[in-house]
Structure 1
Amino acid sequence: MTIYGDYSRARIGWFFGLSGWQLGTLTVAVLPVAVAVSRSAWASAGLFLVLWALLAVVVAVPVRGRSVTGWLAATLATAAGGLMGWTRFRARATRGAVRDPAQADLPGVLTSIEVHEGPPYGPTYRRVALVQNHAARTWALTAAVVHPGLGLAEASERDGYGRGLSQLLDVQVKTELVSEVILQVRTVPEDGAERADWMARHRQPGAPAAARVINDTLAATLTAASVRTESFVTIVVPESRLSKVAKEYGGGVSGRARALHAVAAETESHLRAAVGASSVEWLTSAELATACRTGFAPGDRASLVEALAAHAAGDQVNTEVPWSMAGPSGADPAPRHYSHDAWNSVSSTLKLPVKGAAIGALAPILSTQQDGERRALMVCYPIVPAGQAARRSTNSEFAADLGEELNARARRKVSTRSRDEVDKVRRIESKLARGNSLTEPYAVATVTVPKTVSAAEAGRRLDAAIRRCGFAPMRLDLAQDVSFAATVVPLGVSLTRRSG
């Protein structure tokens, strides 16, 4: 089994693990201490030394992934937003203020989302939904993907899937359009809606009573033990890149749609061939709205299935979810969880293990532990352009060489972890020189439970599942709403926060 561990920190510290700006700040801040010592002003030197130590803690010591200044800024911003009422969301439908049912009414970072219905695409002439994010200046397409999974796959087959994913990312670099490839998987306990509809349509009035009892028992037992999985792949293209290519197709939304269709076709071919997907369906606006609604309210899926069954039987039933009602009726972010409708969600990011990981190692995260619980996992692959990747690799290698030289002159013993980081940097540079692409992947997991269940307990179960996979969890405090949108809602939202 192949273990993947050739990943490195984005920046290698020049000296004692410090980056350039951190080392410069601390060096300048220590000058008053040196001046006071040269003048034998020991009291002033002691005071300046205490202030320098406090500055070092603020600048150089991370606390759960953020610096002290980062936590202070995030806490003040969250408190100010809560006091001003900016973080509370109430849907326009709850106030009777809906003017256009096709206009999306979504909370938080999804407020700037606009969904366009594209021109016919593919042999079935599906009108694929185009997701425009005005705040991030990006466009996105989302596909529902069916994959056979890795549970029964041999080691060679898993390695083939890994190479296929690498080829997919290499192709996205060469297109010079896609900035992110986002993979999302949602698992929720089976509600039995499809089976109940099938039994209602096929059960005969004169069937034996014993057969009825057996079927009902099987339905109850299998439904309780089954899990439904939904997988989505989203490609994100910045407006700055897309606008240039869209001019060749006539410009406007139609031109952008045709340019995105070309990227979608190329992505679909690699998903089916190299990655092994058995089905790839690019979602229409109605299907995407349904996916968003079931993301915010997992319990609504059964009623939507019943509506589809009634419509297929000839009843006049509306089976589509308007975008004005695709979001929650109300949402309130809290520091450690996200509250939406009758549900609470808790999100944690995954820290890559030093020893590496194998394909399929994240499977236990998606295993639900309680009735009504839903698990979701998002893996985002930000695509780094070839020129930028080469510059980063060169800078990282230069920083590694400089750090080794400074440590040698200071006669400081280098730790094994530091030597491993330097070796990884050089291996990455070697792979880039041979034509491989560079990406900065990250993963976020989310658990959603009804409000009758403790959100803190659900978060602890999620963290325990992450640790069972060999990863280290880190709760995304003060960013639970953004994490939920990126993990559960397939609209191309990510945590990189890069504009086009």
Structure 2
Amino acid sequence: MALVFDDYSRDRIGWFFGLNGWQLATLVTTSLPVFFAVRSGLWLTAAALSGGWLLVLLVTVVPVRGRPATGWLIASLSYLVGTVAGWTQFRARASVGRAGVMEAPDLPGVLHGIEVHDGPPRGASLSRAAIVQDHAARTWAVTAAVVHPGLGFVDAEERAHQANGLGGLLDLASHTELIDEVLFTVRTVPDDGAERDLWMLRHRRADGPPLARAVNDDLRQALTQASVRTEAWVTVVVPETRMARAARQCGGGLDGRARVLYGLMGEVEAQLRAGMAMNEVSWLTSPQLALACRTGFAPGDRAGVVAALAERDQADAARAAGSSGAPGAAGGSGGSDRDGSGAPRIAADVPWALAGPAGAEATTRHYTHDAWSSISATITLPDSGAVMGALAPVLTPSEPGERRSFMVAYPILRQATADRQSATREWSADLGEELRAKAGVKMRARQRTEATRARGLDGKFARGHSMTRPYAVCTVTVPSTARVEEFGRRLDASVRRAGFAPLRLDLSQDLGFAASSVPLGVSLSRRGDA
């Protein structure tokens, strides 16, 4: 038996025949000139104004591809202004010879306000977690690379246990009164064969049998084309408005905020390992986060970075062996790129000034970054419910060289805000039901279900549960030489095959890509990211 999650309801329930407050106020206000014209006997004017009011009714009430027509109008005007002003195009400073400080991020669009700090040393390894500060959204975030065994071969009991673990994580985030959002980002990347090439280079013998060499070469070619690699991250986001007071109590400044985040990291990691059965949880350092950011924009760059990291490890080993030899081996010229051991100094880490694309452009239907193009879409929850692990088809590439990624966001509402919204929803459901009854309008099955779920929220809050507005964004990335629109249609087909409905993020493709492919704490639910 599959575990189905269907205990959710609409974010807002229209209390006046499905209309919410602002829609009703708009229609009432725009209808007043019609009544004034009728009262004055100006029938032609009243007819003309009635036509205008019907147009307002269509724009206000009827959605266009899942969005209000007013939202489309505002987005179109904003995109037009941005295109004329040149804001939709990005050119990295390093690409024009003005890189500046290599530790300063140079990222496009909504990532422009990102600054990455090194936290204090923590743990036995004294590693420094990367602390992401978003000046535009006024948030702080930390990201962990996680490894999960998957849900493909687990039974219903284990799926229920992990689902309860996810609910426990969200309840924990709500009870801290600090965490604003928990983001899960997953990327299914075509295998570049970098690790296998290194293994073959280290273990292949020059005098080995020719047959073994041929078999390994054939396996390398076949496995590289057919294999994919999954990368997953968990990002915890804390807004400055919630962080400020707790940070002052911990000493203030960056160190105070780092102490607060380190405490939250320990709580979240314990829940990830115990409740959600994560095998590994590793909080990323600044170089590791920069690599995740760079491979998000350019998936093909990972093989070169992996090779450079392997060469650096070999150089470090040679340097350690040289330093343990003769005393004179430690000496060397200060201006040379080699030390006394003869091992070269290799800069394998990706500097933040080069972590973004050399150039990017946000078009209406897709997003172009370096030699790659991406299409993003949101995923709406179905009325019938979502099966645990149903998003797996979304991550399955349709062709070699294609990358799939998605981000599932869980914005956490404060307890006071959630309780107030729960009371408002229950009142709206009761009022809407009474109005339909008095008007003799029969309630549809979907409306009765929404009203029942709205009334049941109060009991969940009484038991200590939290309220969240989950949503997901998925992205397909292919080389710019491929037909990106065709791969976008395949992504939509995968979403529908998983049981969901896709909605293209037209006019906001750059934001959708940044949220779903780059684990820096960007989401669609904060005003600072819009």
Instruction: Kindly state the Cα deviation for residue 43 of structure 1 after the two structures are TM-superposed.
Output: 2.4
Q: Which moved more, 1:246-255 or 1:437-446?
A: 246-255
Q: Distance in 2 between matches of 1:479 and 1:36?
A: 42
From 504, 511, 516, the counterpart of 1:475: 504
- SS at 1:438 equivalent: coil
Q: Is contact 2:372–2:480 with CA below 8 Å preserved after alignment?
A: yes
Residue 15 of structure 2 corresponds to 14
State the partner residue of 2:295: 294
Structure 1 partner of 2:466: 437
8 Å contact kept, 2:272–2:278: yes
SS in structure 2 at match of 1:376: strand
TM-score of the two chains, using structure 1 as the length reference = 0.98
Equivalent of 1:391, from 398, 405, 420?
A: 420
CA contact (8 A) 1:238 1:499 kept: no
1:37 to partner: Cα distance: 3.8
Residues 69-109 of structure 1, C-alpha deviation per residue, up to 9 Å, x if partnerless? 22112111111111111221110101111221000000001
Q: Which segments of 5 or more consecutive residues in structure 1 lack a partner in the other structure?
A: none
Deviation at 1:38, TM superposition (A): 4.6
Measured in 1, the distance between the counterparts of 2:365 and 2:449 equals 34
* Inter-partner Cα distance in structure 2 for 1:111 and 1:35: 51
Which residue is 1:250 aligned to? Answer: 251
1:106-156: per-residue Cα shift (whole Å, max 9, x none)? 000111000001101123211001100001100000000001011111111
Question: What residue in structure 1 maps to residue 161 of structure 2?
Answer: 160
| 1:342 pairs with 2:343 | no
Size of the alignment, in residue pairs?
A: 500
335, 341, 346: which one aligns with 1:317? 346
Partner residue, 1:65: 66
Distance, in Å, in 1 between the alignment partners of 2:412 and 2:450 is: 22
- The amino acid of 2:128's aligned partner reads R
Matched, 1:209 2:210: yes
Q: Please report how far the alpha carbon of residue 39 of structure 1 lies from its aligned counterpart in structure 2 after TM superposition.
A: 5.0
Who is 2:48 aligned against?
47
Aligned twin of 1:282: 283
Helix, strand or coil: the match of 1:389?
Answer: helix
**Cα distance in 2, alignment partners of residues 383 and 18 from structure 1:** 26
3-state SS of paired residue (1:288): helix
Rounded to whole Å, the distance in 2 between the matches of 1:498 and 1:277 is 32
Bigger Cα displacement from structure 2, 308-317 vs 177-186: 308-317
SS of residue matched to 2:64: coil
Q: Does 2:489 correspond to 1:488?
A: no
Tell me what 1:177 maps to.
178
Tell me the secondary structure at the aligned position of residue 464 of structure 1.
helix
**How much has 1:460 moved relative to structure 2?**
0.4
Offset of residue 205 of structure 1: 1.8
Alignment-derived partner of residue 33 in structure 1:
34
- Measured against aligned partners, the alpha-carbon deviations of 1:279-320 in whole angstroms (never above 9, x if no partner) come to 000000000000000000000000011111211222532110
Once the two structures are TM-superposed, the CA of residue 369 in structure 1 deviates from its matched residue by 1.0
Aligned-partner Cα distance in 1 for 2:87–2:527: 22
Q: Distance in 2 between matches of 1:182 and 1:94?
A: 31
SS in 1 for 2:276: coil
Indicate the residue corresponding to 1:357 in structure 2: 386
Equivalent residue letter for 1:393: S
1:24 maps to what in 2? 25
Whether the 8 Å CA contact 1:6–1:428 is kept in 2: the answer is no
CA distance in 1, matches of 2:212, 2:49: 85
Could you state the TM-score of these two structures normalised by the residue count of structure 2?
A: 0.92
| 8 Å Cα contact 1:177-1:238 kept in structure 2 | yes
Of residues 264-273 and 40-49 in structure 1, the stretch that sits farther from structure 2 once superposed is 40-49
- Counterpart-to-counterpart distance in 2, 1:420 and 1:92: 54
Q: 2:405 aligns with which of 370, 373, 376?
A: 376
Q: Partner of 2:387: helix, strand, or coil?
A: coil
8 Å Cα contact 2:17-2:435 kept in structure 1? no
> What SS class does the counterpart of residue 430 from structure 2 fall into?
helix
Partner of residue 407 from structure 1, selected from 406, 427, 436:
436
- Cα offset, 1:476, TM superposition: 0.3
AA aligned to 2:516 is T
CA contact (8 A) 1:114 1:133 kept: yes
Which stretches of structure 1, 4 residues or longer, exceed 6 Å deviation after superposition? Answer: none
CA distance in 2, matches of 1:433, 1:63: 38
Q: 1:100 corresponds to which residue?
A: 101
CA contact (8 A) 1:348 1:445 kept: yes
Q: Is the 8 A contact 2:131 2:141 kept in 1?
A: yes
In structure 2, how many angstroms separate the alpha carbons of the residues matched to 1:34 and 1:85? 46
Farther-moved stretch of structure 1 (76-85 vs 341-350)? 76-85
CA–CA separation in structure 2 for the residues paired with 1:52 and 1:107: 41
Instruction: State the AA in 1 paired with 2:373.
Output: N
Q: What is the DSSP-based 3-state SS (H/G/I as helix, E as strand, rest coil) of the residue aligned with 1:69?
A: helix
Percent identity, aligned pairs only, is 55
Question: Does residue 447 of structure 1 match 2:448?
Answer: no
2:26 and 2:187 map into 1 onto residues whose CA distance is 44
Amino acid at match of 2:255: S
1:115-130 map, 5 Å:
115-130=116-131
Say which SS state the counterpart of residue 478 (structure 1) adopts: coil
Counterpart position of 1:265: 266
Aligned mates of 1:390, 1:488 — CA distance in 2? 33
Q: Secondary structure at the match of 1:275?
A: coil
The amino acid that maps onto 1:149 is G
Deviation at 1:40, TM superposition (A): 4.8
Hey, what's the Cα distance between the residues in 2 that align with 1:24 and 1:255? 46
